[in-house]
């Protein structure tokens, strides 16, 4: 049975609301929020207490060495490294991970691995 796209979107939306009820970014531990589109991952580190975005990155067009990863998974990994570098420049080293209702596999997992290897703790 094939699921319709509106059904999938509704399920992701419900998961995202449930996650956001538990995951809150503070000044000491901001939230690393992920959005996965068909072509790229957009991520930002947000301080929810002040409503400010500390650092943000989009993975479109990132090129470099990503181990044995290829394609969009490699771009996601490199995006995680880039975001970690930006966060370190802003003196942020510990975050709480908000996967945005997306499953923790594939590109989302690769982004998280890149951020961890870049020096972020979550």
Residue 53, token pair as written in the block: 């975005």
CATH of domain 5-117: 3.30.420.100
Burial class (CB in 10 A: 0-12, 13-18, 19+), 78: buried
pTM (2 decimals)? 0.91
pLDDT of the residue at 1: 56
* pLDDT value, residue 51: 92
Q: Tell me the average confidence (pLDDT) per consecutive run of 10 residues in the chain, 122 residues long.
A: 82 94 92 96 95 95 86 95 97 96 96 97 93
DSSP string for 49-77:
TTTEEEEEEE-TT--S--TT--HHHHHHH
Q: Domain extents for the chain?
A: 5-117
Sheet holding 96-98, edge to edge: 52-58, 41-47, 31-36, 96-98
């Amino acid at each position: 049975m094939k699921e319709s796209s509106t059904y999938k979107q509704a399920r992701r939306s419900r998961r995202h609301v449930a996650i956001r009820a538990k995951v809150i970014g503070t000044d000491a531990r901001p939230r690393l929020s992920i959005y996965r589109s068909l072509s790229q991952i957009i991520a930002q580190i947000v301080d929810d207490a002040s409503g400010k975005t500390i650092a943000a990155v989009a993975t479109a067009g990132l090129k470099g060495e990503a181990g044995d990863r290829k394609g969009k998974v490699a771009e996601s990994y490199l995006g995680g490294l880039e975001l970690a570098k930006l966060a370190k420049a802003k003196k942020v080293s510990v975050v709480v991970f908000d996967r945005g209702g997306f499953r923790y596999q594939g590109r989302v997992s690769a982004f998280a691995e890149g951020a961890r290897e870049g020096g972020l703790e979550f």
